[in-house]
Chains A and B, each alone.
Chain A
């Protein structure tokens, strides 16, 4: 049987905007992925620990407060420190030049307001593979 892709979807940082992330989490679950939702106001440390414990195949983070550069950088850095090679993607209020910076940093993809959930589902299908047990 084919192993299901398992995703950690969540909120890092202080902002409480969870409308988008919850819609995305539900759409991904409905599309057949296993979804672990982190809840609000997580630190980068908590996100990375959860991702490793849960054995997820990718981490999707939502940030709408403008803190995306620092927070993604910290998450990627912590993953590296722990030797985890879990791909990270995300979304939120992110200016185009920061999208370039995030991708350079190692964030695989970003989705901004107006992105349809179908596009996000398709991106995961095309880009995330389940890690072998």
Chain B
């Protein structure tokens, strides 16, 4: 690494940066057509006329580790510190449909999130938290229908009407097959379950955000900003098509689709990405699906700063990266935000690190003046030129996916997966060659040991969770649980909407692993063709 660090001459998506921009770069610019005021079509400048004056973004820190009671304590702490929404991180076995005592759960229990095996764990997770009032986001996908059924069952237990429940399920299986790669069932039954949730919520849980169509993981898997945008929007269009195919009217459900983007370190490209995202979505929804209700045109989105931009080397630098990324998200008009903690290249965050990440948002919100004006960069020659460029490049990808016949055939052909992998390899090559700089990694490295305190999730919590699930199985009526599972399988075989049968199954104290396995007996298993 003998070369000295240089300035980036292209964005992370490869868009060239000019020395400066002027009116020639936005020739023929039509304010009404391209931008409009905030709150007006095509919503490039934001979905609300008063933007953050009306309502600040939701500060929503993703949290979960150990047992349900460990995470419940962290939730209550975060709420006491001014956090305004909950966001649950589940552990790998819960995400993948295994009980804590399954051999495949070895070492994974409570590690990268909280372990939830049954409705009793769900009850403990929300102990002393009013589920009818708080808004709860759950990052869960292939087991989303099961975990959501537990949440619904919990609300019923507590006498909370389903119509008052507020929150978000990630429930985005397309991006799992593309990027995050947590799956159980093949693509078609996976999407059937996704749309079951959409249909059930449209009819019974109207305030629930049914899918969080996620670019975040696509980006973390190595895509460029343009690919993140294009693949996410194509996923969104597929979910709209499928819900319409279920017989729902687009204006009944589309307002409850939300999005989830990454905030990476390329500052202006990220801001332009969010602006282009809103414009494309509003236009495509209008043109493809004849949306009437303005709210169905709104792209509402959550943002998380880029985990993959953080480094293990000189971890304190991560505080700075996260602050800059958070600023981009706010300048881009996000509706909610998670800021990563400095220690996340080593472990889940300590309470100190998580608080510092939340404070970053609070400084941004209340000290900087940034949120007072909607789309403050709108009209900048550079930003408008970049927004147009990203839109054009994203639309090229969206058209290619349309040519495949939509996202499912594109995934089956490996198209988005290969594009992402190539982008990731190219980026790594540029780092190796010193064409891109990461401070503390390939420039300004230091031998000094910068050790930081880390959160430990020990074997004690795993053992406790395993004991709990075994104790539940010994205590419950196995006949009742089996009846719940049998009814579920029957409903699956008959192609019914499975949410009611899932609620009954989890109420009968069937565990998450048992429910996931029952469905696998009907649907089979997804197998990826992988290559390097």
Contacts and interface: CB of A to CB of B under 8 A. Distances in A.
A19 B222 contact: yes
A67 B312 contact: no
A97 B528 CA distance: 34
A114 B108 contact: no
A19 B220 contact: yes
A23 B425 contact: yes
A114 B311 contact: yes
Interface of B: 92-93, 95-96, 98, 103-108, 111-112, 176, 180-182, 220-222, 308, 310-313, 344-348, 421, 424-425, 428, 431-432, 438, 440-442, 451, 454, 457, 528, 530-532
A89 B476 CA distance: 44
A73 to B, nearest CB: 8
Contacts of A117: 428, 432
B108 A14 contact: yes
B425 A66 contact: no
A16 interface: yes
Contacts of B438: 114
B143 to A, nearest CB: 12
Interface stretch (A35-43, A50-58, A80-88): A35-43
A16 B347 CA distance: 17
Nearest to A9: B532
B439 to A, nearest CB: 11
A43 B103 contact: yes
Interface residues of A, number: 40
A71 B457 CA distance: 15
7 contacts: A14-B96, A37-B531, A40-B528, A65-B92, A66-B347, A93-B345, A97-B454
B428 A13 contact: no
Given A71-B106, A113-B311, A66 B111 contact: yes
Given A14-B98, A37-B532, A39-B528, A19 B346 contact: no
Closest 3 CB pairs of A and B: A70-B107, A16-B181, A67-B107
B441 to A, nearest CB: 5
A111 B46 CA distance: 42
Contacts of A37: 530-532
Contacts of B103: 43
Contact of B181 (A18, A71, A94, A97): A18
A93 B107 contact: no
A65 B104 CA distance: 13
